[in-house]
Structure 1
Amino acid sequence: MMRVYAAAAALALALAGCASAPPEHFYSLSTGLGAAAAPAPAAYYIEVPAVTVPQQVARNQLVVTLGGGRVDLLEQERWSQQPAAEVQQALSLAITGELGTVDVFRTPAPEAATVYRISTNVQRFESAPGQYALIDAVWSVRKVGDTQVLTCRSVAQESVSAGYDELVAGHRRAITRIGADISKAVRALAQGAKPAC
């Protein structure tokens, strides 16, 4: 009889522990980015292939920067997908929204269409709650089939107030700024100009 009571007490404690676990929150960089309406038929297309991010942030949990070189991994605050995929999707939406074109990555483009491939390597992705969100990216634009490549760097740092929603919103603004830099280069190339970083 004592064993039954002990087992029931252990089960009750285990269930109480599960019930008191804090909820997980999921975030996306692409929410609210891009054009509201469908783009008009474009004279050219873009491709935004897979993006690379630093290994220390390549996980679903938010990694936040604290003072003294310390970082924390937040188990309850998570990206909806891996950060590299989040950045890729958000950049694609920001650029297609800016240019009014279509991202044809992994999609057949019309024959003889002009396509600009945009490669991105995020070198720093820092999240400092209540302080800043920073994305430091090296990117290149190349017309598919051409050997000429434009390689540039964009560093976007956004001040943020307290809260993880604000931190993610800061990263969205940073993505928008980087997308604007890339869009400017693509637009110049499409017009036959020589873009500069």
Structure 2
Amino acid sequence: MIVDRLTSAARDTGRTPRPKGKPAAKTALRAAACAAALAALAACSSPPSRFYTLGAGSAPAAVSGAVAAAAPAGAAGAAGSANPAALLIEVPPVDVPSQVARNQMVVQAGASRVDVLEQERWSSLPGDEIRRALSGDLAQRLDTIDVFGSPYPAGVPVYRISVNVQRFESWPGSQAVLEAVWSVRAVGSRAVLTCRTLAAEPVGPDFDALVEGHRRAVDRMSAQIAAGVRALAASGPVRGAASETAATLPAPVPCPSASPAPAASNTTSAAG
């Protein structure tokens, strides 16, 4: 009798239908609702980042003279008459202080405090931004091309421009400060010009104005560097270092002065 009851209960238990799929569906719906809520909260709590660049907004000037001068002698006639004073430049990577060598914009909050802004960012690292802006500006000013990292023909004067940024300060509503030591060296020669640029550009309170101030500061430095390249090129032809002696080295070239503006220049020069 007891066995019959147990057998009957077991049969009843086996026949009892159990709902399938409903708990899983409810769990999936809850998970989707939670994910949507978290996404909405994240969208509200994280404003979109804005990216800035020091790159020039206009197309580069024509450099046909420099290209013709850089072409092999046999191709010069086909390319047109080359400018006899044409030259090439090399602009290697620019060094910047480690505290600003990041994509986030670093602004001065006081004499001894800075703020790192997560939403205001450079489109590339500040050193790359400065190098690209400087290269483009110098190419326009000198009617030439930047051949850094590229082969170039022998017999064309090449001037290597090295820049070490010592201050790159952002003071919203006050000024954008650029202080750098730079040098121009004739490749294959011991002739070198070493100078310093200090530019402090007044800026408005918004970040677009701050970036524009940094762009003007870089432009001021490039104007001085371009003048230095011209002065070094005019001091004498570039010769191989092996053929130079103390008697044949060009005379020291003075550093170019800064153009009138809220900027200063305290420079030194050398040859050798």
**Normalization by structure 1: what TM-score?**
0.92
Return the index of the structure with the highest Cα Rg. Answer: 2
Match of 2:49 among 24, 34, 37: 24
Match of 1:61 among 104, 109, 112: 104
Match of 1:196 among 250, 254, 272: 254
Aligned length: 196
The whole-number CA distance in structure 1 between the counterparts of 2:38 and 2:89 is 53
The whole-number CA distance in structure 2 between the counterparts of 1:49 and 1:68 is 32
Give the structure 1 partner of residue 14 of structure 2: none
In structure 2, relative to structure 1, the CA distance for the partners of 1:68 and 1:142 (3 Å cut) is closer
The whole-number CA distance in structure 1 between the counterparts of 2:56 and 2:117 is 21
Any residues of structure 2 matched to 1:91-170 within 5 Å, and which? 91-170=134-213
Give the structure 1 partner of residue 17 of structure 2: none
Any residues of structure 2 matched to 1:10-89 within 5 Å, and which? 10-20=34-44, 21-32=46-57, 36-42=60-66, 43-89=86-132
* 1:61-120 deviation digits (Å, cap 9, x = unpaired): 100011242101111111111111111111111111111111110111122110000000
Any residues of structure 2 matched to 1:173-192 within 5 Å, and which? 173-192=216-235
The whole-number CA distance in structure 1 between the counterparts of 2:174 and 2:214 is 12
Task: Pick 1 or 2: higher relative contact order, CA cutoff 8 A, min separation 6.
Answer: 1
Amino acid at match of 1:136: E
Q: Which runs of 5+ in 1 are unaligned?
A: none
The whole-number CA distance in structure 1 between the counterparts of 2:110 and 2:120 is 20
Whether the 8 Å CA contact 2:203–2:209 is kept in 1: the answer is: yes
Q: Which runs of 5+ in 2 are unaligned?
A: 1-22, 67-85, 237-251, 256-272
CA RMSD of aligned residues (A): 1.8
The whole-number CA distance in structure 2 between the counterparts of 1:188 and 1:32 is 28
Larger mean Cα displacement after TM superposition, 64-73 or 9-18 = 9-18
Amino acid at match of 2:38: A
The whole-number CA distance in structure 2 between the counterparts of 1:196 and 1:11 is 66
Amino acid at match of 2:180: A
**Normalization by structure 2: what TM-score?**
0.68
**Which secondary structure state, in structure 1, belongs to the residue aligned with residue 254 of structure 2?**
coil
